[in-house]
Amino acid sequence: MWLGLFILFYSFIFNDGKHFNGGTIRWAPVDPYDNSSSLDITVTQSYSWTYPYIKCANNVPISTSGFTGANTNLICVVDCSTNGGYSSAPIDILTNCTSASSSLNMMTSERSKNITLSAGAHFYLAYRGNAWLPLNDPAQTGLDWSIVTYIDLRKRSDGFINTPPVATIVSPQYAIVNRTIQINIPVSDANAGDDVRCRWSKYTSGYRRRKRSDNEEHVKHPSKGKKELVMAAVVLRVQMVAHVAVLVVFLQRVPV
């Protein structure tokens, strides 16, 4: 059973003038032992923006002049027939500034919101957009992007709703052309005793589907319950800086 979190991190060169730097969407059950027919969860959105192009204020990004029409909703993109009623009361993408750095030209924002869904709901929720940074090699423009989380309110075999592990990484991440770099991804898990494992994923045909790899990279918190942090990276070359175009973090519970 898939549990938890699917995050896309995109990075780009700041002087291109783009305003959005990527981010994460995560969720957690308010009460993982709740046996009601309707369950409350907390959805937290964390994003990175180009500063001061986007102002450090509440209700980012519409609080910045010229972006008053930029609000939109997180949308269901996969398994929408089992979204537990989310489509009738969707969440918008507005967040509040939490920090800003003039030297880094970066601002971060975050907001959490509680929503109520039907027990047993499971679906993919996304913040999607287009007009992503043009790529130089190969030359492409008007690219789409999305940040996705997988919400799964089905009970684990040990009797409660899983709280997905959280992977924390600053976006954007940069890489120099033809050089190998190491990107550290801190991971935490609210479910004490669960394994958190890191591995590189393998592509499986289908909409954002990944399958298990035999090559395990790292193991934390050995125990009976197991979860995996699945990573895939595609590095595209540009003139002076190769930016990590897609860094996928997919958290999965492994059957025991």
- CB of 62 closer than 8 Å to CB of 70: yes
Give the pair of three-digit tokens for residue 33.
Answer: 């032992």
d(CA 176, CA 178): 6
**pLDDT tens across the length of the chain (256 residues):** 333 333 333 333 333 346 888 889 999 999 999 999 999 999 999 999 989 999 999 999 999 999 999 999 999 999 999 999 999 999 999 999 999 999 988 999 999 999 999 999 999 999 988 756 666 656 777 667 788 899 999 999 999 999 988 887 777 677 777 788 888 888 888 888 888 777 665 655 654 444 433 443 333 333 345 555 544 333 322 323 333 333 444 444 444 4
Q: What is the structure's pLDDT at 34?
A: 96
Residue 171 lies in a domain: yes
Of 114, 108, 132, 124, the closest CA to residue 46 belongs to: 108
Q: What is the structure's pLDDT at 165?
A: 87
Total domain count, the chain: 1
Residue 1 lies in a domain: no
Identity at 160, one-letter amino acid code: F
- DSSP lists the bridge partners of residue 36 as none
Residue 236 lies in a domain: yes
Q: What is the structure's pLDDT at 8?
A: 39
**Domain housing 60:** 6-254
Residue 100 lies in a domain: yes
